Structure 1
């Protein structure tokens, strides 16, 4: 059943309930006029909710309506109606947040926090990136290929900023505001002078207290803050490095991604990756855990091994005379930027061979300025997008 039909039935039901309540209201007023002298003076009269008439629906009915909407609208742009339900009022928003599952569970992206949650374990999330050479902006959309009517759903945007000794990719939720003082700012990717090493910074503190303590040294602003509502730190959550190719040997780029915020146990049986549930309510609030929370986390987690990703080794094609990878039709143009990443597994980890060959993220070219990006658990869209951005930077020492 479509969302429009559900709303139509809901309105008819609401009109019926309204007629009954109006009839009961008239009877109630007559009763109050007859018994006014018997009513206690300290009883406050009933006041309707200030959130509107839609907030007064029975919780069971509201739960069923939003559940049916969430199940029927599975892809964009139809999935926007799920967001519309969450915007009606507070009660609708709370129930919608309870019904909508994480991308790991349902494979769908809904709320902005979904972009920082791990992707599905089975089928990857298909996205594509548009590059604008004029303003050095990179736009991440969800979908298999770009549509002709420009109705694609924008997930993330990044702008490249060249500096004297490094290059920054500022990542935002919108394509028109890349200010680090904005609420849409999510993080940044910074390279070294040669473009061979990158550090990914997140505007949110990681769940692991030990990582959080070691990554707070990079302040976004000086001691005198621009605004009290701006977060004071960037948190280092990953490092990306490209192997030098000084001798110009033949072959694709070789890269390693150390994901400090993701434990290696996440790809093992029964393992889980950190899954944030919401953004900080206010950037001015203290987001760092208390001392007791840090101790408890340290005792529970202890020293852990971070997940490391490496590029999947390609094979040499004799007829084409080039290195090839099986992108399953998602990449159509040969480019040095194309890559597939798998987990770097030590023999002592006892990981099955099929799990070792499972591609966690792949990136490739399909047009002049169009690239595909497919990612899966335990990476999030934000982390996968940052890894792909590192491939766009100039690397004369690696090619």
Structure 2
């Protein structure tokens, strides 16, 4: 049998996610283009498909937050530094979803780009902040990462605490510029729609196309309080099937798929989330969350499971929805006009700002901003068997 091939790679945490980062030029030549070879290679790197659901024979962590790959290269776009391509790897299927972005790993893109020479030296200060201009290739949007520098090196350590991450690190501010996907921010034109779902009847739903297409429903309408933790949802196969059914019919209503069966091939998008007014609860870390300190509660699912914190792209959708009068998120948050929101999630809280201009029923989302952190966990080579043609 042939020997394994080795590929330069960096294992990074970004926000509440982890992933394997590659420079495009470091990949084997057949993997430098999209296609079956690239997918087979990255699946093997992560250790998918794994019927045991453990990723024992790969770099994945057997959760949607830790089964991720990133490919970066010098940008082909004017006024940008780096092109960022994200692949969400399924755990038990031979499938990589290239349809959306990972907002959490976005926080690590700037650091990787600087450390790997993808940002011109004249744009990097010895001390201060480097603005890394990112072209998000999956969704063709601009993101600005504000990466702190110290003595010419990326500053990774600091005292910024992010709920869902155990240890503090340096703060990385992220600006998602004009984050609305193809079409309108309200794809149906309505702040609230009626969504017919078999077994559920008619549900009220808000469809938001910002950051990542997201379907918001009221937790109460599904029999939940809205402050549930992972164990309350992920250990209930019937509940997971129920959320997936709502997600599929919501995708159809949003025009993201033409047939309900297509939802299985688009597991990364759209997201499904339930919202509720603020209340006291205990986060997964044991931290007490005071309802007076948050505006709204949101619980979102990713790749078929309740997320342990919040996807960065879904946070963009939450902030956008909170700023649009009449959406379920805005109503649950009190209904007032706002340009930012602090929401509760299973691991704690997150504050997100949004610049949204309303004109009659139309709205223009200028930018959404949040703070994350990022850190290199390992750098070297990843070893993987040669994919079979």
- When normalised by structure 2's length, the TM-score is 0.28
Q: Which has the higher contact order (CA 8 A, sep 6+)?
A: 2
Higher percent of residues as strand: 2
Q: Which has the larger radius of gyration?
A: 1
- When normalised by structure 1's length, the TM-score is 0.28
